[in-house]
């Protein structure tokens, strides 16, 4: 996806012939909130992703990847070496997963 996640939601809504009111109701948010989301003036609550996936028949996992990758991109796009930051973040994520799994294991 080349566009922002907000632009993507707007595009999906328009391509499916949905009004702002109809999509907002399907997502259980008010119309003004959806308008602000589509215009990039408000953050998209992660809680609406499953509903968005269902409304537009889009794989939830792919939608989550797009959503979270945009959050990461917003954090690193101003940095001089974003690839180095991504590699470091990936290593930390691996470490955190391992650490979290070890904490779940209880030895008797």
| pLDDT band at 6; cut points 50, 70, 90 | very high
What separation in angstroms does the CA of 61 have from each of 24, 51, 58?
Answer: 22, 13, 9
CATH number given to 5-79: 1.10.260.40
User: What pLDDT score was predicted for residue 108?
Assistant: 52
Enumerate the domain spans of the chain. 5-79
> Once rounded to an integer, what is the mean pLDDT over residues 60-73?
93
> Once rounded to an integer, what is the mean pLDDT over residues 55-64?
96
| pLDDT band at 46; cut points 50, 70, 90 | very high
Is the pTM higher than 0.85? The answer reads: no
User: What pLDDT score was predicted for residue 100?
Assistant: 84
Q: What is the mean pLDDT of the chain?
A: 91
Q: How far apart are CA 29 and CA 35, in angstroms?
A: 10
DSSP string over 34-63: HHHHHTTSSPPPGGGHHHHHHHHT--HHHH
Select from 36, 21, 33, 28 the least CA-distant residue to 54: 28
């Amino acid at each position: 996806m080349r566009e922002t996640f907000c632009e993507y939601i707007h595009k999906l809504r328009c391509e499916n012939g949905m009004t702002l009111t109809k999509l907002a109701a399907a997502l259980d948010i008010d119309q003004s909130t959806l308008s602000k989301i589509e215009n990039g003036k408000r953050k998209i609550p992660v809680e609406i992703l499953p509903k968005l996936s269902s409304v537009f028949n889009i794989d939830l996992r792919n939608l989550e990847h797009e959503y979270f990758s945009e959050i990461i991109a917003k954090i690193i796009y101003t940095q001089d070496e974003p690839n180095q930051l991504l590699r470091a973040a990936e290593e930390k994520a691996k470490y955190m997963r391992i650490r979290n799994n070890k904490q779940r294991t209880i030895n008797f």
